[in-house]
Amino acid sequence: MIIEKIAVRRASLNLITPFTTSFSTQTNRDFLIVEATSADITGYGECGAFAYPYYSEEYTSGCELAVTELLIPLLRGADISHPDEVRERLAPIKRNNMAKAAVEGAVWDLWAKMQGASLASAIGGSKHAVDVGISIGINDSPTELVDVVSHAIDEGFARIKIKIKPGADLPFLRAVRAEFPDVPLMADANNAYNLADLDHLRQLDTLDLMMIEQPLAHDDIVDHRHLQQALRTPICLDESIHSLSDARKAIELGSCRIINIKIGRVGGISEAKDIEALCREEGIDVWCGGMLESGIGRAHNLAIASLPGFTLPGDTAPSARYWNKDIIIPEVTMNRGCVAVPTGPGIGFAVDHAMLDEITTGIREFEVDAR
Ligand code: OSB
Ligand code: MG
């Protein structure tokens, strides 16, 4: 497969409701979309990075620079027989995982479309539908949070994740647990605590949480080991895992019992697949995280969530959770806490070009075919 050209697009869309984590409040999503074309077929990839580097070191403008100045040149003249080769070609550039994943994702979609296969089947996915949870941002009060959770349960979400931070944790979670004693519930701290908070965090053990996601530093796997030894509740690592090698080390240390896989954070679908396979072998539960993606990134997430190792509900909520109108047709919808894995070629959704053009703030095209 010769990639003829790659377009790099910036676009922007407002969230229906602001999303507050321990690190920021987001009202808007700044997208970077990569479009790889060959023989009049286009594959789409979406960058996971946000406008500012509060979640990880990557951010949209930096990723755009990495994609256009560093990564696209590495694909020039390539004849790609399998998308796994993209990971090898981009490997000389250290990290920049979300930028790499946007490019690799576009090639995976293009390649699957050329085979006439769904992205899910192209990567070896086996599920026809995936269980879906909702990630609920930090609310102003426990009462308001209980109200939001109540609506989410009515909508049928298969599990509820609550964002927490010091000052917005125990009373909030206790209120939810008291109202909904049996709901599958978890908390995500986005590294808002440290080991000095151990006694405080021990109190989370009484809430029957499925897991606590990334309570400690974004780059830590050692303190998380100490914390996991002190807690009954499983720890799930998100921010700390950037590669198969990170996953192996965290598992070996006992730093977590669950891993959240985000395609962008680990540098692409090929790496995500390898981590899934390792976790399946090691008996570590896995689920698909989210980065408030548009329908394009969401479709990629649904494809990896169809792999057998993704044993827990993911943050792959339906389009209407985020957007008044998504950029794919049809939108992602949920039925009784499940989203169907698309079966059409590639990502399995059509891109709504009129809508995408409307929200586009800039687009640049690069010739890749060196013939
Ligand atoms: O830690 O998983 C996270 C959103 C922004 C930044 C980090 C995270 C999240 C989410 C939302 O939890 C997941 C989603 O619904 O896309
Ligand atoms: Mg998280």
Provide the pLDDT confidence category of residue 3 given band limits of 50, 70 and 90: very high
**Which 8-state DSSP code applies to residue 132?**
B
What CATH architecture does domain 5-116+352-367 belong to? 2-Layer Sandwich (3.30)
Provide the pLDDT confidence category of residue 36 given band limits of 50, 70 and 90: very high
* CATH class label, 121-350: alpha beta
pLDDT digits (tens, 9 = 90+) for 233-250: 999 999 999 999 999 999
How far apart, in Å, are the Cα atoms of 276 and each of 24, 45, 62, 131, 269? 29, 20, 28, 17, 10
For the chain, give every domain's residue range.
5-116+352-367, 121-350
Give the atom of ligand 1 at the shortest distance from the alpha carbon of 134: 15
* Cα–ligand 1 centroid distance for 56 (angstroms): 12
- Mean pLDDT computed over every residue of the chain: 98
**Which 8-state DSSP code applies to residue 234?**
P
Active-site residue identified among 113, 165, 262, 273 = 262
Q: Give the CA count within 13 Å in the CB-facing half-sphere of 96.
A: 22
pLDDT digits (tens, 9 = 90+) for 260-319: 999 999 999 999 999 999 999 999 999 999 999 999 999 999 999 999 999 999 999 999
Looking at residues 182-202, what average pLDDT do you find?
Answer: 98
If one residue of 15, 25, 258, 291 were mutated to test the ligand 1 pocket, choosing by the most ligand atoms within 8 A of its CB, it would be: 291
Q: Return d(Cα 170, Cα 168) in angstroms, integer.
A: 7
Please name which of 19, 18, 31, 26 lies closest in space to residue 327, comparing C-alpha atoms: 31
Q: Return d(Cα 225, Cα 214) in angstroms, integer.
A: 12
Ligand 1 site, CB within 6 A: 21, 55, 135, 188, 190, 238, 289-292, 315, 317
Predicted local distance difference test score (pLDDT) of residue 370? 75
Helix (H) or strand (E) holding 35: strand 25-38
* Cα–ligand 2 centroid distance for 248 (angstroms): 19
Annotated active-site residue 262? The verdict is yes
CB 270 within 8 A of CB 243: no
Number of other CB atoms surrounding residue 290 within 10 Å: 23
The secondary structure of 139-192, three-state, reads: CCCHHHHHHHHHHHHHHCCCCEEEECECCECHHHHHHHHHHCCCCCEEEECCCC
3-state helix, strand and coil shares in percent for the chain, rounded to the nearest 5: 35, 25, 40
The residue type of 105 is G
Name residues whose C-beta falls within 8 Å of residue 258's C-beta, 6 or more positions apart in sequence: 211, 234, 235, 236, 237, 284, 285, 286, 287, 312
User: Collapsing DSSP states into helix, strand and coil, what is residue 366?
Assistant: strand
Provide the pLDDT confidence category of residue 371 given band limits of 50, 70 and 90: confident
Looking at residues 165-185, what average pLDDT do you find?
Answer: 98
pLDDT digits (tens, 9 = 90+) for 314-339: 999 999 999 999 999 999 999 999 99
CB 160 within 8 A of CB 133: yes
Annotated active-site residue 325? The verdict is no
Predicted local distance difference test score (pLDDT) of residue 307? 98
Angle at 199 between CA 251 and CA 290, to 5 degrees: 45
Structure tokens at 319: 């389009």
